Structure 1
């Protein structure tokens, strides 16, 4: 027993206790949890888990697997290359949180605790046993408990301490590729499961979110994500192919075209967030009116795509309409950026916020009364026709290899192509000399100018590029939604995309990264779409989420390496002297101290 344990349990007893609790929780999911089918998911059937029982079952199974890995079970050690104990603790917490939430939801929606059948109590007790035993496990990273420390302090250490690095292990190339394919396949399944949850079954979606959030933290602490990152870096081409193959498969898994539409809107939102990431993440320019460039591209496409209500009365082919929308957005980016980018910080943010509001108000006034009748004012431009590209009609359902592909699926694949283009542009820009100059300006514009970097010209280039990418996504959005109205492009509206949500997506996902804004955009779009009761309080809830993120993980979900080192500088240097043993221990400790200095 080590002095780092807050609960005085021998390590083997804690591991076996965690395993036993997980198995008890697992067994409880095969028993009835309530007597009536009024609670969503039908939790009344013995021997056939459903609804939130499946969430507890999955969490308990993963907890048991990690506990077996901690026990050194042959064949399971690969699950925890970075250390098993923190991973087990977080997964057990996820199982307990999902189970406790289900118990509370049943009690609130039905007749109180009397509505609970034995299965619910068995799973709850099992998950409590697993958590209690997991907190008796030693830490994978050094932790010095202070007098008065509680389990909350232990949990905070588990969340914030850097995961230990696993020793590199070379596998055959075919095994690496197989693991990459399995990882992307599992990611597609988890994402599809969340999308397929009916918005009326908000209880199931909340349980899903709880388990996915803590489960992802657990797998990260286990070192699996770091190992996957190593594999994807080693096989970059294969990883990109696997990612896009998984994305292409998504619309074919959807029987309901409404759920495929959610995926399409997520891609639109994510693509615009990537464009904003050029401005905010790379160049460090706070743009609070960025959604206006999305509106410029959407309005341009609506006016030139053959809508009967278009005041221009032209019908460009879609490729030409895309180029027109991107070009007009580029012009607006240069026109707005040229006089404003000489400002910095808060002043620049205020001016860009003003531009976003001016755009929306101007579109409202172009109604024939307050101004020229160009875009029908608040009515917008409706009846935008569906696309037809090379004879392929996006508004009709198609059969592909015996699988049905609806209208939303067609636009999903089109938007996936646009997302790939934006990803390529972002990656190439970030790796270029211009991208490195943007990062230098973001870190210290004065120092960058002293090194000969033309700050204004490069900031204007970032602003124009971000506007172009947003306009590109706007051309597709106009056709997906059939209409374009000014209310779609506010600073903070009831639904994304808007400027506040775009900035939140970049910060939540990780500034300056490629996959970060994609994950942030998916979360910020999917959660309000599935949880209708959150729509009135979503800004408050997302504000609280950002506060927690800044406290626990300021670098974002997918951290940029530079930001990670910046925010966790002290953690990187924390090497305990007691681990330095042998004849060269004093020299090693001195070397560490010098390296830290």
Structure 2
């Protein structure tokens, strides 16, 4: 009998200094090139890149970065930090628990892509390379040197995630114990690194606060980019920068920390989100923020149906429309056929209840179908809803929804004497209309997150997961599949209707065109499903992040005109190709896509 054990990384031997990357350079000189190029990139950000301020961002100042130079500076700092960590600098190894080589490559790509994009944009807009100052040439050469060194580094497969941040109880204990044991085995076998010691609770909480503050800073910077070139540079830096941090293992390490302080993380995340309107001087970006929250809340509701129960729903946006129309009809709008003006809580209950009823009515006859058949039926329901409300105009049918004109002039919400439609001063800062709705939608998002979390951890939630994994086996174990799926469908519809009540008051008008299957501007069924898959099915943070990206990026890419959806589609294809499990996946789904690559790192094979 023989036993074969494969670890995440091989022991460090002299052949590691032999050429093993994409470029024939030894590992030592390659690290020196990457680290030195990163340091020179930092210096270049403080030089003038062009002689005229005609290019957006004013890149003419010595000693102070501007515009795209800040992004190059951030990418250069990442490259340098990971490069120094690869040399074993004390204190920096904590940042690269999975190894620094892969993270250096992506950080160098971030610096190279952003710097060369800026140089080319200056040359194209201003009429040639003659418009570049020495700083532009230094940045181009420095990032190229760093990239050459990074590409020459050897490849080491990182160890798999030690814990699933969405597991609780016994599952979390088993994963944490197995992950810790395998990490120690890999550390002793390779001699390269040791697992980080357990930090005091207050230090871990400070790390969580720092991570949330950094997330708020990145989001605020991305949503507030003032011109197109800056946003494209932001996408390049953020995309490759996120990949670099992920490859370093730092994301996994932070996930382990947040899993030990779930309540602190949730409270901190919503506190950081609540601070967003205070960072804005007007309602311009608060408008995008409130729409992102609406989109994210509906996506999280869809995640119950798709991510937990495994039901492919292509008409989910119709439930958002049912809630919006129901709330609009009882809001006191002059376009409503009913002379009813309910207070906010009444409108919320009506919208959520109407969506729940429609969810039960649609789900009861259709949830006995599976897979593609269920998807086609739900797609048909979404189109039937849109066509029906379009025809209820008094001509093709009874006058209920005012047809294609929709229900307009929906009044602002008022709650406890607080009018959401007028600005208010808070701590000396003026909070506008959309900021008011942002805070309201944030509270609703918190409610939806709590419902999702409690449902997923409950007995019914585990039944959903069982149905998703293997419905036949779940039925054989005594789970009532139809009842379980109907509960998921009704709960998801209720949460969508809850968000729809706020959407109706934010937009002042609800029309059938807002609830198509595919539309340039989200939310729609296609974008909602993409947000769930892109962010990470079955997780809480995944759909929130996915929805934020899927709303923000199209809103910022409007300058591309007819090519907007083309560029967006290419980005989705690339993301699904290189990270099919989503941006923030749970452990089970990650293994589904990478089991062949990761399983040997933690399992031993025994054969005769």
User: Structure 1 residues 380 and 346 mapped into 2: Cα distance closer, same or farther (>3 Å)?
Assistant: same
Distance 1:546 1:527 in 2: 11
Counterparts of 1:555 and 1:426, CA distance in 2: 20
Correspondence for 2:293: 267
Match of 1:12 among 28, 31, 38: 28
- Is 1:564 the counterpart of 2:590 in the alignment? yes
1:195 and 2:207 matched: no
- Residue in 2 aligned with 1:428? 454
Supply the RMSD in Å over aligned alpha carbons: 2.0
Q: 1:111/1:87 Cα in 2 relative to 1: closer, same or farther (>3 Å)? A: same
Which residue of the partner structure matches residue 310 of structure 2? 284
Pick from 204, 208, 213: which aligns with 1:180? 208
| CA positional deviation for 1:8 | 3.5
1:237 to partner: Cα distance: 1.7
Q: Hey, what's the Cα distance between the residues in 2 that align with 1:142 and 1:492?
A: 39
In structure 2, the residue matched to 1:238 is 264
Displacement of 1:538 after TM fit?
Answer: 4.1
DSSP-derived class of the 1:81 partner: coil
In structure 2, how many angstroms separate the alpha carbons of the residues matched to 1:287 and 1:141? 37
TM-score normalised to structure 1 length: 0.91
Which residue number corresponds to residue 464 of structure 1?
490
C-alpha deviation, 1:48, in angstroms = 2.5
TM-score, normalization: structure 2?
A: 0.89
Residue 598 of structure 2 is aligned to residue 592 of structure 1: no
Instruction: Name which of 524, 540, 554 aligns with 1:528.
Output: 554
Distance apart, 1:113 and its partner CA: 2.6
Task: Write the distance in 1 (CA, Å) between the matches of 2:323 and 2:530.
Answer: 22
The whole-number CA distance in structure 2 between the counterparts of 1:5 and 1:368 is 70
State how far apart, in whole Å, the 2-side matches of 1:177 and 1:83 are.
Answer: 24
Matched, 1:499 2:515: no
Residues 503-512 or 235-244, more deviating: 235-244
State the Cα distance separating 1:38 from its structure 2 match.
2.4
Query: Is 1:59 paired with 2:75?
Result: yes
Query: How far is 1:535 from its partner?
Result: 5.3
- In the other structure, the counterpart of 1:89 is 105
Q: How does 1:289-300 map to 2 (within 5 A)?
A: 289-300=315-326
Q: Deviations over 1:461-499 (max 9, x none)?
A: 111111100000000011111111111110001100000
1:113 matched to 2:135? The reply is no
Whole-angstrom CA distance in 1 between matches of 2:564 and 2:33: 39
C-alpha distance in structure 2 between counterparts of 1:539 and 1:498, whole Å: 14
What secondary structure does 2:604 align onto?
helix
Cα distance in 2 for partners of 1:59, 1:455 equals 50
For residue 142 of structure 1, report the CA deviation from its aligned partner.
Answer: 8.2
Other-structure match for 1:80 = 96
Q: How far 1:243 sits from its partner (Å)?
A: 0.9
The offset of 1:75, in angstroms, is 2.7
Aligned residue in 2 for 1:400: 426
Match of 2:363 among 329, 333, 337: 337
CA contact (8 A) 1:81 1:223 kept: yes
In structure 2, C-alpha distance between the alignment counterparts of 1:397 and 1:11, rounded to whole Å: 59
Unaligned runs of 5+ in 1: 144-161, 577-590
From 453, 464, 476, the counterpart of 2:479: 453
Contact 1:387 1:395 in 2 (8 A): yes
- Residues 1:478 and 1:93: Cα distance change in structure 2 (over 3 Å): same
**Is 1:544 the counterpart of 2:570 in the alignment?**
yes
Question: How far apart are the structure 2 equivalents of 1:252 and 1:594?
Answer: 59
Residue 534 of structure 1: how far off its partner (Å): 4.1
**Map of 1:308 onto structure 2:** 334
SS in 1 for 2:474: helix
Residue by residue over 1:311-337, the C-alpha shift from the partner in whole angstroms, topping out at 9 and shown as x without a partner, is 101110101110110000000001111
Cα separation, 2, equivalents of 1:11 and 1:568: 27
> In the aligned structure 1, how far is the partner of 2:309 from the partner of 2:440?
29
Separation in 1, partners of 2:19, 2:51 = 47
What displacement does 1:14 show?
Answer: 2.1
Secondary structure (helix, strand or coil) at the match of 1:594 reads: strand
8 Å contact 2:53–2:60 — kept in the other structure?
A: yes
1:35-54 counterparts in 2 under 5 A? 35-54=51-70
1:129 to 1:4, Cα distance in 2 relative to 1, 3 A? same
CA spacing shift, 1:501–1:374, aligned 2, 3 Å: same
Is the deviation greater in 66-75 or in 215-224?
Answer: 66-75
Partner of 2:197: 169
Query: Aligned-pair distance for 1:108?
Result: 2.2
- Please say if 1:390 is aligned against 2:416: yes
409 and 230 in structure 1: CA distance in 2 versus 1, 3 angstrom threshold: same
The list of structure 1 runs, each at least 4 consecutive aligned residues, that deviate by more than 4 angstroms after superposition, is 162-166
C-alpha deviations, 1:436-470, integer Å up to 9, x for none?
11111112222221221111111111111111000
Partners of 1:34 and 1:43 within 8 A in 2: yes
Write out per-residue CA displacement over residues 187-230 of structure 1, whole angstroms, 9 at most, x where no aligned residue.
Answer: 101100111112xx111001001111111111111111111111
Indicate how the Cα distance of structure 1 residues 117 and 438 shifts in structure 2: closer, same or farther if over 3 A, else same.
same
Aligned-residue offset at 1:553: 1.5
Does the 8 Å CA contact 2:292/2:552 hold for their aligned counterparts? yes
Structure-to-structure mapping, 1:214-225, within 5 angstroms: 214-225=240-251
Q: Distance in 2 between matches of 1:431 and 1:49?
A: 48
Q: Describe how 1:140-151 pairs up with structure 2 within 5 A.
A: 140-141=156-157
Distance of aligned partners of 1:142 and 1:248 in 2 relative to their CA distance in 1, 3 Å threshold: closer
SS across alignment from 1:27: helix
Q: Which moved more, 1:516-525 or 1:430-439?
A: 430-439
- 2-side partners of 1:7 and 1:458: how far apart? 55
